[in-house]
Amino acid sequence: MDCKIKLSIWMMMVTVLCGCGRAEAPALQRYSETRSLMATVIQVDVCVDTENDVHQSGVYPKIWKRLEEIAWRMNVYDERSDVTRINQAGTNPIEVPADTYEIIRRSKEFAQKTRGTFLISIRPLIDVWKTGQQNDRLPTPDMIRQTLESIDLDDLKLHADNRISRHHPQLKLDLGGNAKGYAVDEVARLFREHGFQHFYIDAGGDIYVGGKNCQGKSWRIGIRDPRDKSRLIETVVVSNAAVTTSGNYEQTMAIQGERYSHIIDPRTGYPQRDVVSATVIAASAEEADVYSTALTVLGADEGVSLIESLGQGRAALVFTKRPGGQLERAESSSMPQYRNP
């Protein structure tokens, strides 16, 4: 179980809508391909003059090859993966590909920026709760305390020449919280390298849009109501930006008749409770991926404060469940500009 499990495409909290605003360019054709990868459905659309433009560019084979590579090399469940090799290594440094090294380096920075609420070393805690779910038995306080001792990211050392070493025998990595976002960013990079500026990418709820939609209008992304998937609770307008929502309203663990969020607070070792959904807008899908997870743990006030502290180009919308079942809404001061650009 990833430290964040995105909803499948037909159940996701974010959906693309028709464009809004005045047309700025002639309508283009929308070319789309969809595949199942990374435990979700990935949709990749691009706006072009003709479908032949796509085939002549050769961009889609490169996109799927890159996504397949990321899917297995950064997968904690694949015995061949870079993550598994790190998790099974001793204290001696091992070399990994440059992209894996960089995502881990950034993850250590994200851990600091999110005040310890986003940790790629959380895997031992995930395993403890997964075992508890399988056995229908809550982890004991002693089990949680002992496991917390094994998730200190300071025990993961980065060395020169893309080498990484572990300095705690139980420390294990899981890139499930940001690998999808990184994969989406890679698709955007490939599109731009091949001269395409207008596109839509969705990896099970990690969304990135480039330029304008195929009618030459702004992209509108609808955020679904966590209480009712058939209706939208918000609509945002973005370009060259990512929108990602994390939440606990569908993905839960059932233990002894009670449901717990699948998102675990690495500071306490227990599932977060209050935040129903957290949506983040950011310049990259990886960043939106990370911060949306962090906000579900931090809560509305601290989470919005964090987004505010990061500066321009980011926004947050958080819904918290209160006694009685009502939803309380909190948003960053930058959110209105994405509602009415």
Q: What is the per-residue pLDDT across 100-134, written as a single tens digit (0 to 9) for each?
A: 999 999 999 999 999 999 999 999 999 999 999 99
Q: What is the pLDDT of residue 259?
A: 86
Neighbouring residues of 102: CB distance < 8 A, sequence distance ≥ 6: none
* Contact by Cβ (8 Å): 204, 2: no
The Cα 48–Cα 70 span in angstroms is 26
Longest dimension (CA), the chain: 64
Q: What is the pLDDT of residue 240?
A: 97
Instruction: For residue 25, name the pLDDT band (cuts at 50, 70, 90).
Output: low
Strands 206-210 and 275-282: unpaired
Instruction: For residue 23, name the pLDDT band (cuts at 50, 70, 90).
Output: very low
The Cα 278–Cα 302 span in angstroms is 12
Instruction: For residue 144, name the pLDDT band (cuts at 50, 70, 90).
Output: very high
Neighbouring residues of 109: CB distance < 8 A, sequence distance ≥ 6: none
* Contact by Cβ (8 Å): 290, 303: no
pTM of the predicted protein model: 0.90
Q: CA of 241: how far to CAs of 204, 251, 273, in Å?
A: 16, 26, 29
Is residue 20 predicted with pLDDT exceeding 80? no
| pLDDT: which is higher, 78 or 274 | 78
* Contact by Cβ (8 Å): 222, 269: no
Considering the chain, what is the average pLDDT of its residues?
Answer: 90
Q: Which tokens go with 234?
A: 């918000």
The stretch 245-257 carries a mean pLDDT of 80
The Cα 38–Cα 74 span in angstroms is 10
Set out the domains of the chain in order of their start, with CATH numbers: 1-341 (3.10.520.10)
The stretch 189-197 carries a mean pLDDT of 98
| pLDDT: which is higher, 8 or 282 | 282
| Polymer length of the chain | 341
Q: Which of 308, 257, 248 is nearest to 280 (CA)?
A: 308
Q: At which residue do the structure tokens 């962090």 appear?
A: 294
The Cα 88–Cα 297 span in angstroms is 29
Q: Is the dihedral of CA 328, 330, 336, 338 positive or negative?
A: negative
The stretch 94-98 carries a mean pLDDT of 97
CA angle 78, 129, 84 (to 5 degrees): 20
Q: Which tokens go with 134?
A: 């399988």
